Amino acid sequence: MSHKRIPKRKAAIAAGGVVALGVAAVLLPNANASQDGASNGAAAPRTLKAADASDLASRLRSMLGDAFAGSYYDAAGRQLVVNVISGNGDNAVVQAKRAGATVREVDNSLAELQAGARTLKADATIPGTAWAVDPKTNKIVVTADSTVTGAKWDKVESTVQSLGSGMATLKKSAGTFKTFVSGGDAVFAQAGGGTVRCSLGFNVTASDGSPAFLTAGHCGVAAAQWSDSQTGRPIATVDQATFPGEGDFSLVKYDDPNTQAAGEVNVGGGQTVRIAKAAEATVGAQVFRMGSTTGLHDGTVTGLDATVNFQSETDPNGVDTVTGLIQTDVCAEPGDSGGSLFTQDGSAIGLTSGGSGDCTTGGETFFQPVTTALQATGATLGDAGAGAGDQAGGGDALGGGTAAPSGAVGQSGAGDQPGAGDQPGAGDQPGAGDQSGAAAEDGSRLTETH
């Protein structure tokens, strides 16, 4: 069994002796942090866990109406910061403070920021660009990757300038925005004369009660049938897939209705984190990503409702625009597509879509919100199939491969658990994922497929 070096931003796992369900306490030290819980009449901000801050933000958005201008989680102070429109009167400020939030008065309303995003969509939908609202600056942050040069850069820059310096900012990314559909040991499919690889996100129960899993939509449109080993027979079939457009998600049903599909994320070394629920992302909150190529990494949510314009692989002059994504500074690499994004309390947050950079230099990565995918597909989180709980869950590549994936946390990799539903071949393919990027077989020419 191979052991690779630990890449930058790798989330730490204690070596050896950590029982599966106890890993959360090691990986996620604030999982059981308490709330101070000020009374409703007190002005002092409450100390909150990230999940509770997300819930409070949702309540305040409904309570404050047009006065609400976004929010973010201050991880250092463990407080929710809520933006309130300046000059909107004291009532909104008082309500937010009584609810336990830290209040900040800002100039740009959500409606104005959304109007700015529509201008960008109309005038700057260029491959290699992305934008999202940053509540910390109360602006739209527009990012252009390394392919946006010359006239394309001028177009993006002039559009951002037309919005005004108080509304939008422009930054350059050193990498290239792409979907992470190739490389690593994960779920496999045959398409375009090659092998496509992605990562399992979360096991779910489909609306008809059958066991299934969520992964990236660009994986689901690449191929209809998926296997748990590179040369094995298909064990799951795509039921629904969305990409490009309003999301990047697919629901894939296991062909065997008795497949064991536990509600867990396998983080390597025989360790799992139990997934208790789906939750909305909160800007500023710490998140963990598990993928079959790079293993476990952590980072921070930096934007919501992000729009990303991927270069189309099927049309050299085309663009695949995806909306409604979560933006983070968590790294990812080819093969991590569809992998799990979750929080310290075991909340399912997102599915890896794409981004720029890698886990050596860093970069931006975008995720499909799990809540939106569940609502669209009618699926629910939770164990499905007979004997659920005996199998490693989302993120473990269905047991594909006995070797650690490239850079996997210095331990045995995701996939050391028995395969999904104990299907033949699950987890017994030697060396799967023992290639860094596996360019010879991973279908890398299908960097984006639809």
Q: Which of 86, 84, 87 is nearest to 101 (CA)?
A: 84
Q: How far apart are CA 302 and CA 134, in angstroms?
A: 7
Tokens standing for residue 100? 């336990």
Residue 120: its H or E element: helix 110-123
Integer angstrom CA distances of residue 97 from 37, 81, 82, 280, 281: 12, 10, 9, 22, 22
Options 248, 298, 336, 434, the catalytic residue: 248
Q: Is 297 a catalytic residue?
A: no
Does residue 450 have an active-site annotation? no
Exposed e or buried b for every residue in 58-94, given b needs 16+ CB within 10 A? eebbeebeebbbbbbbbeeebbbbbbbbeebeeebbe
Cis peptide bond N-terminal to 257, omega within 30 = no
What number of other Cβ atoms are within 10 A of residue 390's Cβ?
13
228: tokens are 């748990």
Exactly one of 199, 229, 292, 337 is catalytic; name it: 337
The structure tokens listed for 116 are 């700015």
Question: Measured between alpha carbons, how far is residue 359 from residues 287, 289, 291 in Å?
Answer: 15, 12, 12
Distance (Å, whole) CA 397 – CA 200: 6
Q: Is residue 3 annotated as a catalytic residue, yes or no?
A: no
Catalytic residue among 218, 228, 340, 444: 218
Q: Using CA atoms, how far apart are residues 428 and 401, in angstroms rounded to an integer? A: 6
Q: Which residues are annotated as catalytic?
A: 218, 248, 337
